[in-house]
Amino acid sequence: MESPFSCVDLDRGRWSPAGTDQVRVAVAARPRDTDEEFDVLLTAAADPPRPWVSCADPYATARLLRTTVTRHPAAGVSLVQVLRTGRALSGSDPLVLESFAYSTLQAGRDFRAWLASARPRTPRPAAEPVRVHRDGARMTLTLDRPDVRNAFDAATRDALCEALEVAVLDATVTHVDLYGSGPVFCSGGDLSEFGTSRDPAEAHLVRVHRSPAALLQRCAPKVTVHLQGACVGAGVELAAFAGSVTAAAGTTFRLPEIGMGLIPGAGGTVSLPARIGRERTAYLALSGTEADTGTALSWGLVDALTPAGDEPRATSP
């Protein structure tokens, strides 16, 4: 089997096209046009245009990406294939594609190995995982599990879906604010539930039937998400669907799923490319790097920063 990773130095001239079952990375001292499509483009130039990613040593970064893809070939290759294919789809179809790939990887050896090595976690359900407050035309939704950094469990998913269905169907709701209580907006999927579904096919059907991502897609223009602290996995994937995203100072963004043998599964292969492009999305997911607010703002992942001392607060019911 050929390597799942291909790296090309664009400064050295011609190269052979990579296979569709490879992660394709290009490196150049400065951004340049190329007829070949790549999944990640790395450069040492500061503040390069999209789709390029600036890094102090693009060759070292490429080696790190190679290590990640070599360790997690199924997840790495599946990620870029979903990102490439999703460009030709519309509506909720890219979310279905993402779910198919995510469910397949859940049954894979890499994810099972990660599960076996992960420390057991005790579920800590909340009586009201999402607080809902309605004030005329404005609806305020607050993820309310601060004791677990607003980890996204099935109960949170279902409660958020119920609230968003109102926003989608009720034309009198003209604005939706989404917050996370406590210092962290959302730390991603609740790890106490990872691996509890033994039927990936059934999990796929549930994922597409109860999808906050699909609902956010439908009501995005009226949604503003207010971020703070860590936005991990679902915490950034769902936020990126919103028509407007604000972030407090110190907010960070990370996609850790590849290291688990998975790909983003809360809509991130759809929401992030719409904001920052598929190449920068692939970089964040494959590198697992933590992006700060400066990067998020310059890339368009965030629309505005909350002034210091003026952080938004959820409205109490």
Reduce the secondary structure of 90-102 to three states and give it as a string.
CCCHHHHHHHHHH
Pairwise CA distance, residues 120 & 227, whole Å:
29
Q: What fold characterizes domain 92-254+290-305?
A: 2-enoyl-CoA Hydratase; Chain A, domain 1 (3.90.226)
Q: Please state whether beta strands 244-247 and 304-305 pair in parallel, antiparallel, or not at all (unpaired).
A: parallel
Evaluate whether 224 touches 187 at the Cβ level (below 8 Å): no
Whether pTM > 0.85 for this model: the answer is yes
Q: Which residue in the block uniquely carries the two structure tokens 């962290």? A: 184
Q: pLDDT tens, position by position, for the chain (317 residues)?
A: 578 999 999 998 756 566 789 999 999 999 998 888 999 999 999 999 999 999 999 999 999 999 999 999 999 999 999 999 999 999 999 999 999 999 999 999 999 999 999 988 888 999 999 999 999 999 999 999 999 999 999 999 999 999 999 999 999 999 999 999 999 999 999 999 987 777 889 989 999 999 999 999 999 999 999 999 999 999 999 999 999 999 999 999 999 999 999 999 999 999 999 999 999 999 999 999 999 999 999 999 999 999 765 555 554 44
Q: Where in the chain is the domain with CATH 3.90.226.10?
A: 92-254+290-305
Pairwise CA distance, residues 22 & 17, whole Å:
10
